[in-house]
A and B are shown apart, each in its own frame.
Chain A
Amino acid sequence: MKLIFERGQEGRHLSILPKLDVPAYQPDEALLRAQAPALPEVSETEISRHYSALERRAHGVNNGFYPLGSCTMKYNPSIDEEMAALPGFTNVHPLQAEKTVQGALEVLEKMEEKLSAITGLKYFTFQPAAGAHGEFTGLLVIKAYHKDRGDEARKKIIVPDSAHGTNPASAAMCGYEVVNIPSASDGCVDLDALKAAVGPDTAGLMLTNPNTVGIFDKNIEEITRIVHEAGGLCYYDGANLNAVMGIARPGDMGFDVMHLNLHKTFATPHGGGGPGSGPVGVREDLGKFLPGFRPVRGEDGELHLAQPEKSLGSMRSFFGNFLVVVKALTYVTMLGREGVLEASRNAVLNANYMRKALEDIFPAAFPVTCMHEFVISLDKLHKETGVSALDAAKALLDYGIHPPTMYFPLIVHEALMIEPTETETKETMDEAIQAIREIYERAYSDPESLHHAPHHTVIGRPDEVTAARKPKLRYQKEV
């Protein structure tokens, strides 16, 4: 397929721009570029066909099953998009007078209220652009808290070995030393290892619960107590909140700071570059450290923007990806209190349904009732047939199914991590189960064909090794 840069002809134009309705302005000669940029010169039909062709080659939740573990690829209701397209949200500027954007500010106020009810944490900032940015922001809050108390000795963040790779990375970005603790044999935090790791140098603990193998840590209250007694704070990575929203609250588990991925848990599209939204919530006394400005309702009944007393500054311009917040607010409002609960319950039910249906061929890495996702190991299949988790994942593409997350978490060999989400029907899951079982059988009867799968997609196996070793990051025009 041709790139957009390889289409069109010199001098070809579009007529979609509106008439200029402001006075023309001639910039200073020194500010002008000497040579015109090499932009595509194409007709409207060419553009339309180019992007339609690209769309046909893409796979999204609208095209088929997308059980990408840890990513929560749920269906995005169209009404979310409708609300985010309202002119009152799209034709405003963050520097407009407060009284002219009361509706937009109310979106932030309402969303904070709802997230606070769901998580048990009091105040939120919507600045972080996505999950890892939220982690970084949350850790800066923890840092500000210790500094404010005059405690400069806390240099370490504890992270379990099953954590998302972004956790240790965010801690390191924040200048903390990362202390890795091993998981116990049930995939949960090893309490003895945690007790041995905490001390006067502990700034905090970062934890995902349910954890990366889809298990709710039964010792969660004990874990947060141990960290608090050592003087540290507890950070909740909200990546897996979809399993527990409306049922259990991180604030009640003893967490002090957390981020949510609006773009996972609260629908709003993600993948392919976002935009995402990773609001950070904190318990009441930490609210004063949050970045940016928060809408606060004044005595005049109007919303005014105020910077928290000891704000750590700004993590991003204005209010982050505001329209993502509009979509998420629409999503939770449409679901309502009961609907939020039901979404989580169905996510957990669907994951357990698939886990049980595959148990005889691929036992779950941790064979207990899972939450919203589960991890299977293809280690035995790999040893017996040579067919790897990668081969099986690639083969699923021929069934019109997006592969599950592969080789994560690292503590499980030949791992596939499956998260069906609550928006899939039983029939869709049955088809996926059937496809996985067929691949299993083919691994024994015709392993060779799986090494070369997929066979019916436009692109077979991209050369990931060359792409990583010698990446071409942009198109370069041949001269």
Chain B
Amino acid sequence: MNIPEELKYTKSHEWVKEEDGFYVVGLTDYAQEELSDLVFVNLPEVGDEVEAGETFADVESVKAASDVYSPVTGTVAEINEELLDAPEKINEDPYGAWLIKVENVSDTAPLMDCAEYEKLLEEEE
């Protein structure tokens, strides 16, 4: 299981990192593997408000539909439009295929570092 050291994680299996003043959010390797082949991604619109711990997107695989929860509270600055036509990019490269970039962040959900997240995954197993 790939858990990059430089990222922060939520217990609902999203990753987040700070980059150029934005908070970049995506799904972890574990999440994409559990979901299996993704066939659909529903993203918010630029300018939408997201709230830490609340759902902001949903993804669908051949197995199930799942909500995606925001690690931060803020405004959507950018969405990864490429995913709308190619949701498989999340399966291929979960840490490259970010979902949204958030600005004006005022709050964050409880976040874990990679060691803590690895421990959570062991417990889930």
**Chain-A contact segment, one of B5-13, B42-50, B62-70, B112-120:** B62-70
Which residues of chain A are near B39, meaning CB under 8 Å?
465, 468-469
Contact of A468 among B40, B64, B66 (CB under 8 A): B40
* Interface hits, A383-419 → B, CB 8 Å: 383, 390, 406-408, 410
* Interface hits, A425-479 → B, CB 8 Å: 464-465, 468-469
Q: Decide yes or no whether A165 CB sits under 8 A from chain B.
A: yes
The answer to whether residues A407 and B65 also contact, given A468-B39, A468-B40 and a CB cut-off of 8 A, is no
Q: Which residue in chain B gives the minimum CB-CB distance to A389?
A: B63
Q: Which residue in chain B gives the minimum CB-CB distance to A464?
A: B62
| Cα distance, A390 to B62, chains bound together (Å) | 11
| Tally of contact residues, B, Cβ under 8 A | 12
Q: Decide yes or no whether B94 CB sits under 8 A from chain A.
A: no
Q: Decide yes or no whether B26 CB sits under 8 A from chain A.
A: no
| Tally of contact residues, A, Cβ under 8 A | 11
Q: Which residue in chain B gives the minimum CB-CB distance to A390?
A: B63
- Contact in complex: B40, A407 (CB < 8 Å): no
- Contact in complex: B65, A465 (CB < 8 Å): no
Contact of B65 among A165, A383, A464, A469 (CB under 8 A): A165
- Contact in complex: B64, A407 (CB < 8 Å): yes
Q: Which residue in chain B gives the minimum CB-CB distance to A406?
A: B63
Contact of B37 among A165, A406, A410, A465 (CB under 8 A): A465
| B-contact bits for A312-354, CB 8 A (1 contact / 0 none) | 0000000000000000000000000000000000000000000
Q: Decide yes or no whether B88 CB sits under 8 A from chain A.
A: yes
* Interface hits, B31-80 → A, CB 8 Å: 37, 39-40, 60, 62-66
Which residues of chain B are near A410, meaning CB under 8 Å?
64, 66
* Interface hits, A353-404 → B, CB 8 Å: 383, 390
| Cα distance, A407 to B62, chains bound together (Å) | 10
Pick the most buried of B60, B64, B87: most chain A CB atoms within 10 A of its CB: B64
Binding site for A on B (CB under 8 A): 37, 39-40, 60, 62-66, 87-88, 125
Binding site for B on A (CB under 8 A): 165, 383, 390, 406-408, 410, 464-465, 468-469
Could you name 14 residue pairs across A and B whose Cβ atoms are closer than 8 Å?
A165-B65, A390-B63, A407-B63, A407-B64, A408-B64, A464-B62, A465-B37, A465-B62, A465-B88, A468-B40, A469-B39, A469-B40, A469-B87, A469-B88
